[in-house]
Amino acid sequence: MRRELVVLAVVVALAGCAAQQKAAPGARTPGVTDTTVRVGGVLTKTSASGYSTKDAELGARARFERANAAGGVHGRKIEFVGAEDDTQDAAKGDAAAKKLVQKDKVFALVPVHAPNFGGAVFLEQQGVPWFGWATGPQWCGTRTGFGYNGCLAPKPGAGSQTWWGNQMADLLGGASGKTVYVQTSDSSGSKYGGKTISQSFQAAGFTLVGLNSALPGAAPPADWLPYVNKIMTSDGGAPPDIVVSIIAGTKFNVGLYSALKKAGYKGVLSDATSYDAAILKDPATARALEGVVAAPMFEPFESSAPEIAQLRQDVEKVAPGATLTQHLAIGYWSADIFLKMLEQTGRDLTREKFLATGNGSFLYENAGFGKIQYPKDHAEPNGCGALVKLEGGAYRVAKSMKCFDNVPLK
């Protein structure tokens, strides 16, 4: 009897091994089964300043739903568990990343759209891929973080974007003799953005007459006059031709632009965040942003490009009547790039093989966001962007998506 029990145990063990050998490719990879790939994101859905990227969740979901309707990627559908809220707190972002990886068992984080995202070190250590808007230095120099627009905080000597300055020069009929003033907040991301954007305009031929990073980033100031006075006298006692705002938050830009217009400013106002139809529902906000030239890093929704028609169709299917916003587009294109990388990796899916694909001369061009190339864009931006102008309470395409060569950051 004892011998029979031993034989039975061996048979059971062998059967278990055989079952494991027949398991689906990637079955031992977290978040991957024979039929699904699980992903989730981290966003700043709420914050003390009112800044929110919550629409990125809808954008990603819309793109994933189209992929699933087409049968998924290599027979696997995307299981999207939604996005955590970091409330613009780095510690909460780190906790959210750990929850998604350790508890929810996701394969990758898509989308990550949080200015103060604190989970980068953990994800890099764990070898977990993450995709989103690479607005801060935590994205740069990694092997796991894939910004849909590359690294926007390059180190000195690395490539730095020139597209914003060049697009503005084309819009204004040239940069010769024109001046620009750049206003940022005192946050690290905003200050770094001010440095790179200043160089973008200088590379295009504009003269930089001011770069002010003294604005507190926690909340708009009670008195804008000190900032306005500096701007209005920055060009040898006169106002500059262009004021560029590198501030994360509509309330900041509304306050700054309203104060400048009240002071009689007649030049061009430009920023990266005012392209958002949702914020125009407030009449006071719409008035403050009238005439502003926004600089999205994707093809505008008003474009006739087929890729944008597809985006609109995808969003309408999952959320009929939804307002299209910049954050929605960022979630959508981040998901799109993730899907392309997943497709190129093949059926035998592990995180190691996925990262090898992403970091092995990965090149993807799309009229929706320009192009992305890794591993190069771990260290520099993709160099692509568009311009949109608000006129009569409605946006129009001022300059369609175009890519320009980067220049070494000074």
pLDDT in tens, 264-313: 999 999 999 899 888 888 999 999 999 999 999 999 999 999 999 999 99
Q: Global pTM?
A: 0.87
pLDDT of residue 247: 85
> What average pLDDT does range 251-265 have in this prediction?
96
Q: Round the average pLDDT of the chain to a whole number and report it.
A: 92
pLDDT of residue 23: 37
pLDDT of residue 280: 86
| pLDDT above 90 as % of the chain | 83
CA 370 centroid distance within chain: 13
Angle at 100 between CA 97 and CA 102, to 5 degrees: 100
Partnered with residue 395 across adjacent β-strands are 390
| Nearest C-alpha neighbor of 351 from the set 24, 123, 29 | 29
pLDDT of residue 48: 86
Q: Is the pLDDT of residue 197 over 60?
A: yes
Contact of 197 with 180, CB cutoff 8 Å? no
Sort strands 293-294 and 384-391 into parallel, antiparallel or unpaired. Answer: antiparallel
117-167 residue pLDDT tens: 999 999 999 999 999 999 888 999 999 999 999 998 899 999 999 999 999
- Phi, psi of 149, rounded to the nearest 5 degrees: -120, 20
Does 49 or 251 have the greater pLDDT score? Answer: 251
> What average pLDDT does range 170-186 have in this prediction?
97
Q: Tokens for 141? A: 């120099």
Q: Tokens for 38? A: 């699980």
d(CA 104, CA 98): 9
Residue 307 DSSP SS3: helix
Q: Tokens for 363? A: 């090149």
Q: What is the DSSP string of 111-169?
A: EEE-TT---HHHHHHHT--EEE---SGGGTT-SSEEETTB-SSPPTTSEE--HHHHHHH
24 pLDDT band, cuts 50/70/90, is very low
| Nearest C-alpha neighbor of 169 from the set 399, 410, 406 | 399
| Nearest C-alpha neighbor of 204 from the set 238, 236, 161, 247 | 161
Contact of 148 with 334, CB cutoff 8 Å? yes
